[in-house]
């Protein structure tokens, strides 16, 4: 079983989906710790209720991004993880931090990258009139919301959608693809080689796209 540390900033529903998958035996991983950069992140309570150790590294206590990154890395490394999972973690991490965890740092982003890096992805997708939207799990590189893509799930944008309905449709897929990506990593079925994602089996590569059927025909 690999050791996994999860970083959150808020409600932690993606974290909860990973905890549930690990708990049910569907994910051969031991979630050894949950860290937040905000003491009021409500996901900390969810993690504690599941018996997972938590810690807070409050970014407001540090004068610079580098000092925060150093403290966060120390808190993470205390748990000796094989994999670090960003799950709604809303701080930009510096290059030294990212390099330290190269090949073992995953993020989930609520858009089909490379479209819409950054914030307000659902609002922007609606404003552009997209018919298709989704989420992406990727290895983290120093470029914000870029990096080798592991899995993407697409959802339709429906007439009448607003930011909340679209976000909910995407979030349901996030809860599906993040446990999948972490399971592939845990089972050594996927790795990063020369900056690219490599799957050991073509079936896993094919399963790394989750797409809806078009309505109508």
- Residue range at the interface with ligand GRF (CB under 6 A); choices 9-17, 63-71, 180-188, 192-200: 9-17
Q: How many CB atoms lie within 10 A of CB 38?
A: 18
Residue 87 near ligand GRF by CB under 6 A: yes
Q: How far is the CB of 135 from ligand GRF (least distance, A)?
A: 6
> What is the Cα–Cα distance from 177 to 55, expressed in whole angstroms?
26
- Residue range at the interface with ligand GRF (CB under 6 A); choices 12-20, 29-37, 45-53, 61-69: 12-20
Residue 110 near ligand GRF by CB under 6 A: yes
CB 152 within 8 A of CB 112: yes
- Residue range at the interface with ligand GRF (CB under 6 A); choices 67-75, 106-114, 149-157, 181-189: 106-114
Q: Which of 174, 179, 181, 208 binds ligand GRF (CB under 6 A)?
A: 174
Q: Which of 38, 104, 109, 133 binds ligand GRF (CB under 6 A)?
A: 109
Contacts of 93 (CB under 8 A, 6+ apart): 69, 72, 140
> What is the Cα–Cα distance from 217 to 203, expressed in whole angstroms?
27
Q: How far is the CB of 99 from ligand GRF (least distance, A)?
A: 21
Per-residue DSSP letter, 208: T
- Tally the C-alpha atoms within 13 A of residue 101's C-alpha that lie toward its C-beta: 29
Closest CA to 36 of 83, 78, 75: 75
Q: Catalog residues that contact ligand GRF under the rule CB under 6 A.
A: 8, 10-14, 43, 87-88, 108-110, 171, 174
**What are the catalytic residues?**
109
């Amino acid at each position: 079983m690999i050791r996994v540390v999860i970083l959150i900033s808020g409600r932690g529903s993606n974290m909860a989906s990973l905890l549930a998958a690990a708990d049910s035996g569907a994910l051969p991983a031991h979630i050894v710790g949950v860290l937040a950069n905000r003491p009021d992140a409500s996901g900390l309570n969810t993690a504690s209720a599941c018996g997972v150790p938590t810690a807070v590294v409050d970014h407001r206590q540090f004068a610079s991004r580098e000092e925060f990154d150093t403290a966060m890395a120390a808190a993470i490394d205390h748990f000796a993880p094989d994999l670090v999972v960003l799950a709604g973690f809303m701080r930009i991490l510096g290059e030294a931090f990212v390099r330290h965890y190269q090949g073992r740092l995953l993020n989930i982003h609520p858009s089909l990258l490379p479209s819409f890096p950054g914030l307000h992805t659902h609002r922007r997708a609606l404003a552009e009139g997209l018919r298709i939207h989704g989420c992406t799990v990727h290895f983290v590189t120093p470029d914000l919301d870029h990096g080798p893509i592991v899995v993407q799930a697409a959802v339709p944008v429906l007439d009448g959608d607003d930011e909340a309905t679209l976000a909910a449709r995407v979030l349901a897929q996030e809860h599906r693809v993040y446990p999948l990506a972490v399971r592939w990593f845990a089972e050594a079925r996927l790795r990063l080689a020369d900056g690219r994602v490599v799957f050991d089996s073509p079936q896993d590569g094919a399963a790394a796209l989750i797409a809806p059927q078009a309505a109508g025909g």
